Amino acid sequence: MIINELSTVRKSNRYEVLKYIFSHQITSRIDISRSLNISKMTISSIVQDLLDEKILIEVFSESTSIKAGRPIRSITLNDQYFTILGIDIGVNHINLIAYSLTGDIFYTQNIKPTDIVNSIYVIDTIITMVQECMELALKDKIVIGLGVGLGGIVDSSGMVINSPDLQWFNVNLKELLDQRFDFQIEVDNCTRLMLNSEIHKNPLFTTAPDKNILFVNIGYGIGSAIFLNKEIYSGISELGHTYAGGNIKCFCGSQGCLETLASGNALEQLGSDLVGYQISGSSLDNLAREGDVEAQKIYTHLGEHLGISIANVINIIGIDTVILGGGISNSYDLFHSSLYKKCHQNVINVLKPSLQIELSVVKNDSVLYGCFLKILFDFFQK
Ligand SMILES: [Zn+2]
């Protein structure tokens, strides 16, 4: 019993040590001991284990703190021995990144899928991408795990219950990939993974950890994830498939969903209807910036729809801050004022003064970085 308790404490200390080193990059045993309030002897023992396991390496600093002619021994994560893979599946892309333990990138590959609704094709493509990556860039490295992110409802077992944009139903993605690889596989909703990246990169989560936060991913579709009571809510959060008006049929089978009015896909439809030929979201953005009033109105309406729907969530949960991410958030200046105005109008009075809407601080590869963090922190807990 006592041995079990000791081993639990040691495991917990080891996890805290690894988290500390990840966030400080290069540090020393003495700094870890002081910051975590754990004895120097315990820290030395944990660090020695981690050095033996090649998770840490020692670096010798030539700094002014040289004592008795000896350079000080600092420690850092070993960024050459282990690797973590992330895969982001979207309607128009399958992207892969191989990360080091410190989050540096070893390898990237981006593919434009030809048959995204066919889950078998997508799984075969992922397997080929991972095998190519391992052969080309990771021959001398140990793969810890692979995280996969995609839009839709994904349960805690890695089963994709329904991905409206990909048209997938009950695809047991984790199990199918588990059969092919002998490292850890995790599958999660892409917006939850984006929120995971945000938590590690946005100072807001450190300065105000008690805030309840709604993260809205405005991309091809609209995803949402909630930071509630200091953790990512693991249940369903599908803001894009709440009713927002009209009767346009949605990929989910319903009609009038927010996604039919305010997503990247909806913008492209509205823009194409406006100019009379197929245009991309970025072309519509350019048109609006060049002063085209009708194009500007499309963004104004997009902001209004988002504002009302976001206000509904704020009123139900008591959200303190809304963070917007995804490709369409790059056009935020075109719809910021209509979104804020409608949101402010519709939140309950008690929440109006504290209403805060911000842009995500993570600009690139936030789904993939979220995959990396998910696998990394699981690894730290082992
Ligand atoms: Zn829908």
CA of 349 to the centre of ligand 1 (A): 29
CA of 265 to the centre of ligand 1 (A): 12
Q: What distance in Å separates the CA atoms of residue 368 and residue 282, rounded to the nearest whole number? A: 23
* Tens place of pLDDT per residue across the chain (382 aa): 556 766 889 899 999 999 999 999 999 999 999 999 999 999 999 999 999 999 999 998 665 454 556 677 899 999 999 999 999 999 999 999 999 999 999 999 999 999 999 999 999 999 999 999 999 999 999 999 999 999 999 999 999 999 998 999 999 999 999 999 999 999 999 999 999 999 999 999 999 999 999 999 999 999 999 999 999 999 999 999 999 999 999 989 999 999 999 999 999 999 999 999 999 999 999 999 999 999 999 999 999 999 999 999 999 999 999 999 999 999 999 999 999 999 999 999 999 999 999 999 998 899 999 999 999 999 999 8
Superfamily of domain 82-195: ATPase, nucleotide binding domain (3.30.420.40)
Instruction: Tell me what pLDDT residue 7 has.
Output: 83
Domain 2-77 has CATH 3.40.50.10490: no
Q: What distance in Å separates the CA atoms of residue 129 and residue 109, rounded to the nearest whole number? A: 8
CA of 64 to the centre of ligand 1 (A): 61
Instruction: Tell me what pLDDT residue 72 has.
Output: 75
In Å, how far are 145, 180, 188, 292 from 184, measured between CA atoms? 4, 11, 13, 50
Three-class DSSP category at 181: coil
**Local structure of residue 349 (DSSP, 8 states):** G
CA of 149 to the centre of ligand 1 (A): 19
Instruction: Tell me what pLDDT residue 382 has.
Output: 86
In Å, how far are 135, 157, 172 from 128, measured between CA atoms? 11, 23, 18
CA of 306 to the centre of ligand 1 (A): 14
The residue type at 66:
I
CA R_g for the chain: 23
CA of 164 to the centre of ligand 1 (A): 7
Instruction: Tell me what pLDDT residue 363 has.
Output: 86
Copy the structure tokens of residue 142.
Answer: 């140990």
- Domain ranges within the chain, ordered by starting residue: 2-77, 82-195, 203-359
CA of 178 to the centre of ligand 1 (A): 30
CA of 175 to the centre of ligand 1 (A): 27
Q: What distance in Å separates the CA atoms of residue 363 and residue 353, rounded to the nearest whole number? A: 28
Buried residues in 212-245 as b, exposed as e (16+ CB within 10 A): bbbbbbbbbbbbbbbbbeeebbeeebbbbbbebe
CA of 46 to the centre of ligand 1 (A): 50
Whole-model pTM?
A: 0.93
Please report which residue ranges of 163-318 form alpha helices under DSSP H: 173-178, 190-201, 204-207, 259-262, 264-275, 281-289, 293-317
Q: What distance in Å separates the CA atoms of residue 19 and residue 23, rounded to the nearest whole number? A: 6
CA of 205 to the centre of ligand 1 (A): 30
What are the DSSP calls for 83-125, one per residue? EEEEEEEETTEEEEEEE-TTS-EEEEEEE--S-TT-HHHHHHH
Instruction: For the beta carbon of residue 73, count every other beta carbon within 10 angstroms.
Output: 12
Instruction: Tell me what pLDDT residue 60 has.
Output: 84
CA of 22 to the centre of ligand 1 (A): 39
Cβ(368)–Cβ(86) under 8 Å? yes
CATH architecture of 203-359: 2-Layer Sandwich (3.30)
CA of 138 to the centre of ligand 1 (A): 40
The residue type at 245:
G
Same fold, 82-195 and 203-359: yes
CA of 95 to the centre of ligand 1 (A): 25
CA of 1 to the centre of ligand 1 (A): 52
Which residues on adjacent β-strands are paired with residue 91? none
Copy the structure tokens of residue 11.
Answer: 């495991």
Q: What is the 3-state secondary structure (H, E, C) of 193-207?
A: HHHHHHHHHCCHHHH
Angle of helix 29-36 versus helix 40-52 axis, rounded to 10: 130
